[in-house]
Amino acid sequence: MNEMIIVRSASFYYNPPDLQELEGEDMYVRIAGAIIMALTTASCQTAGSSAGNGPITLSSKVNRSYQEYLNTLEPLAFAVSTDGKSSGRFYCSKPRNVCFRTNEITEALVRCRNSTPKGPAGKADCKIFALKNKVVWNGPVTFKDQGQVRAKPAPVGNNSGIIMGQRPNKPAPVGDGPLTITEAVNKDFQNYLDLQEPLAFAVSADGRNSGWFFCKTQSACATMDAAGNAVKYCNGSISQGEKTCKVLALKRDVVWKGRVLISPVK
């Protein structure tokens, strides 16, 4: 029987430093101005002409950023460049509804454009990919990861990272042996367990990094490689040469073959 000592925590942990640096995730939580003005801008946003359309292939970095955007407390808008290589996201941190005065579409587009490098033909334009948890991009979406996958319609009403490869022939590796995870990884795991439909959670061998995959619409991700994508996200958060990631849990069951402890190191 696998043994795992977990400390439940009510706090929310979300701190991807690489994406903060790339996309300027210094969230603007602004409470100012007249109440009347705030109320007039508090109506539900629609993407309109800002929404993207046509076929698009997202890079692994953008797809990872989208998955982490969905894991925020209150995701509001996610934009991608038309070449699928850059993105920008806007979400609201605690307390809820403090961003009601902000135009989330504009904020996401600005972040996307600021993160888009200038090429020979100039910068690629940015368009809205999702509002809150709903994909609004109109067209087939593919995910680039060691080659191109078959195009399929963009998911609607499903806020999981299902823009990914299908289930592979070889399953992702399950971890074994003693493992000590940091408090930060443990908090990630607690938030993963609290999701509506958690599917897979992976950790690095040193217990300092993690990645997870979930589906908010029940059974909508049955054909996705949950374990493989969790491992991929985890490996994407560590430097080359460091110990690779393996599966810690499938759904809510710990499958790591060995004793798992928590270190006070964050």
Full domain range(s) for residue 205: 179-262
Query: Do 183 and 122 fall within a single domain?
Result: no
Q: CB of 255 within 8 A of CB of 174?
A: yes
Question: Which position has the higher pLDDT, 143 or 18?
Answer: 143
Q: How many domains does the chain have?
A: 2
Cis amide linkage into residue 178, ω under 30° from 0: no
Give strand pairing partners of 74: 92
pTM of this structure: 0.42
Residue-by-residue DSSP string for 40-94: HT-SPP--GGGB-BS-EEE-HHHHHHHHHHHTSSEEEEEEEETTSS-EEEEEE-S
Residue 164 — very low, low, confident or very high, per pLDDT cuts 50/70/90? very low
C-alpha triplet 145, 150, 155: angle, nearest 5°: 90
The rounded mean pLDDT for the chain is 71
Query: Do 144 and 203 fall within a single domain?
Result: no
Query: Do 61 and 127 fall within a single domain?
Result: yes
Query: Do 193 and 141 fall within a single domain?
Result: no
Instruction: With both helix axes pointing from N to C terminus, report the angle between 226-236 and 60-70 in degrees, rounded to the nearest 10.
Output: 100
Assign 3-state DSSP to the chain and report helix, strand, coil percentages, each to 5. 25, 25, 50
Q: What are 218-248's pLDDT values in tens digits? A: 666 777 788 888 888 888 767 665 668 999 9
Query: Do 116 and 234 fall within a single domain?
Result: no
